[in-house]
Amino acid sequence: MIGTATLLSESRMRMDRVKIPIGPQHPLLKEPLAFQVTAEGERIVESTLRLGYVHRGIERLCQERTYVQNLHLLERVCGICSHVHTTTYCQAAEALLGLQVPLRGLYLRTLLCELERVHSHLLWFGVLAENIGFTTIFMHAWRDREIALDIMEELSGGRVTHAVNVIGGVRIDIGEAQFQTIISRLYDLESQVHGFLELVEQERTFRARTRDVGHLSAEQVRQYCAVGPVARASGVDVDVRRDAPYAAYNRVPVRVITNDRGDVWARAMVRAQETIESLRLCHQLLIGLPDGPTAVRAPRRVPAGEVVSRAEAPRGEVIYYIRSDGSDQPARVKIRTPTLPSLMTLPDQLRGVHTADISSVLSGVDLCIACADR
Amino acid sequence: MNFDLVLESLRDALLLPEIESRPVPIDERFVQIPPERLREAVAVLVNNLELRHLSTITGQDTGQGIELLYHFWHGNGLTLCTTVPYEKPTVDTLMALIPAAAFYEAEVTEMLGVTFVGNADPGPLFLPDDWDGDPPLRKQNAHG
């Protein structure tokens, strides 16, 4: 006969280590990803993850389409940073073709990149707020994000997929009337984002939920080759826009934001300050917008060769490798999105964290699973 | 970092004066390394030159073998290229030198059937658990 004491001790032993599955479908995750977290009591000791639930075989599909058709496909790698994918792809194809994109085209391409960063960071801020229980902030962040989305819709016709880039430039232009209304709305948005920055800095509960949570040292960032705001919030000063300027970034210098704390709070600070910096860049791009054409005509066939193209997506460095065999279809397109190295940091970030803080840690990274899966 | 210094360090440390490099747009240099010396070459980058940022590994079936491109970043792009034969598609893992290689190696393993010797967790990462077809990015597979 088993006594009550034995039952209790067995039960305690079983509770010692508990495996908690998170995903592939889970309210905490906006996209499918399978996590398994092992907790000892309330503390996480290890975690594993599995991708592939939205793997669409995009790299393979690129080999079966023309360079022009691939624009349509690659815009759909990511539902948030769609423009930066075609930017990276177009500058790769343009390098192989030896095309010089007109300056006005480069400015407009860069403007969309920065508006996309603004909307992506505000989207992220809302997701983080919702996941740690700040539904009001979620609503405010997403309300204000609409300003950036409206501007992009007016410029391109699309809120999320803009189809602005073409090989050789951009297909949109901007008139004087549009210029004035965009400038005034950007000022409105900037004052709202200053409010969010103040909240991140000072709001007591927000700080309690994010400070000293999900810590990553600069050394851990370097080990996992993490990029973007995750790296910069651990004091690693990297930004492709400054380190290897592309599009019009050599004409509108970027102030790179870093923070040494390495926790979720630091990531929120970096993204909030980056949003303000992006809005400043948008102003500069609009005011300095040069006259002239926005695109040059590109031939269908691309000369044989290889190219490596990099850009700074809202989540960090995105890299494309393209090999051309001289036909109108690429022989290989390789894409690495910034979420992939960020995902590798998660087991380290989660180790030792309280189970209630899983939501802060996962949100803090700004995961884009569709991007990572491709 | 000066690229000539990187190339010189690789030639000296590996005792391979014939290592060649070629420029590739946009601002990238490709360096050809024999597959059996790849791990040593990366050790030179990581330990001697503090060049630790591996952006990704591209694998591609060129028709002559599986080519692996290790894209590094040091202010400019540096890519180490190596080709493994179809008969023995193996190369040493880099996980002890660069933990970030974990996902990139797993992806090349499942998409192209390359074995990274010493990688304890080679996937699957993206393909379904019950995938029983050939590696999907190989040219001679059931998918054409």
Task: State the pLDDT confidence band at B18, using cuts at 50, 70 and 90.
Answer: confident
B126: nearest CA partner in chain A: A52
pLDDT by residue (tens digit) across A144-178?
999 999 999 999 988 888 999 999 999 999 988 88
CATH of the domain at A101: 1.10.645.10
Q: How confident is the model over B22-32, as a mean pLDDT?
A: 89
**Rounded Cα gap, residues A316 and A203, in angstroms:** 27
* Cβ(A173)–Cβ(A157) below 8 Å: no
Task: State the pLDDT confidence band at B123, using cuts at 50, 70 and 90.
Answer: confident
Task: State the pLDDT confidence band at B7, using cuts at 50, 70 and 90.
Answer: confident
Instruction: Select from B27, B69, B127 the Cβ nearest to the Cβ of A52.
Output: B127
- Percent of chain B exceeding pLDDT 90 equals 52
Q: Residue B71: which H helix or E strand, with range?
A: strand B66-73
Does A21 map to a domain?
Answer: no
Burial class (CB within 10 angstroms; exposed 0-12, middle 13-18, buried 19+) of A54 = middle
Instruction: Select from A57, A244, A344 the Cβ nearest to the Cβ of B136.
Output: A57
pLDDT by residue (tens digit) across B67-98?
999 999 987 889 999 999 999 999 999 999 99
Is B26 close to A334, i.e. CB distance below 8 A? no
pLDDT by residue (tens digit) across A51-77?
999 999 999 999 999 999 999 999 999
Does A305 map to a domain?
Answer: yes
**Rounded Cα gap, residues A350 and A264, in angstroms:** 12
Contacts of A202 (CB under 8 A, 6+ apart): none
**Rounded Cα gap, residues A77 and A372, in angstroms:** 9
For residue B60, the chain A residues in CB contact (below 8 A) are 323, 331-332, 334
Helix and strand numbers (H, E) in chain B are 3, 7
B143: nearest CA partner in chain A: A60
Instruction: Select from A60, A334, A344 the Cβ nearest to the Cβ of B58.
Output: A334
Q: Residue B61: which H helix or E strand, with range?
A: strand B53-61
Contacts of A169 (CB under 8 A, 6+ apart): A101, A102, A105, A106, A109, A293, A294, A295, A296
Instruction: Select from A51, A225, A306 the Cβ nearest to the Cβ of B24.
Output: A306
Q: Domain limits at A158? A: 58-368
Provide the ipTM.
Answer: 0.93
Percent helix / strand / coil, chain A, rounded to 5: 50, 15, 35
Top residue of A48, A77, A91, A225 to mutate, by most chain B CBs within 10 Å, is A225
Phi/psi at A46 (5° precision): -155, 165
**Rounded Cα gap, residues A121 and A132, in angstroms:** 17
**Rounded Cα gap, residues B113 and B109, in angstroms:** 5
Q: What is the mean pLDDT of each run of 10 residues along chain A (374 residues)?
A: 55 71 82 88 88 91 93 91 94 94 95 95 93 90 93 90 93 87 90 91 89 92 94 94 93 93 94 95 93 92 94 94 93 94 91 88 85 87
Q: Is the pLDDT reported for residue B65 higher than 70?
A: yes
Min Cα separation B144/chain A (Å): 11
Whether B52 has its CB under 8 Å from any CB of chain A: the answer is: yes
Helix and strand numbers (H, E) in chain A are 15, 8
Three-class SS of A26-68: CCCCCCCCEEEEEEECCEEEEEEEECCCCCCCHHHHHCCCCHH
pLDDT of residue A3: 56
Instruction: Select from A95, A317, A343 the Cβ nearest to the Cβ of B25.
Output: A95
pLDDT of residue A323: 94
3 state SS of B111: helix
Whether B3 has its CB under 8 Å from any CB of chain A: the answer is: no
For chains A and B, CB pairs below 8 A equal 93
A95: nearest CA partner in chain B: B25
Structural domains counted in chain A: 1
B71: nearest CA partner in chain A: A308
Q: Is the pLDDT reported for residue B108 higher than 80?
A: yes
Six-digit token string for B93: 């893992």
* Cβ(A152)–Cβ(A112) below 8 Å: yes
Is A341 close to B102, i.e. CB distance below 8 A? no
Is A60 close to B125, i.e. CB distance below 8 A? no
**Rounded Cα gap, residues B48 and A297, in angstroms:** 46
pLDDT of residue B1: 66
B58: nearest CA partner in chain A: A334
Is B26 close to A95, i.e. CB distance below 8 A? yes
- The domain B3-117 belongs to what CATH superfamily? NADH:ubiquinone oxidoreductase Nqo5 subunit (3.30.460.80)
Is B60 close to A222, i.e. CB distance below 8 A? no
Strands of chain A, DSSP E: 18-22, 34-40, 43-50, 165-166, 169-170, 305-313, 316-324, 330-336
When comparing pLDDT for B1 and A42, which is higher? A42
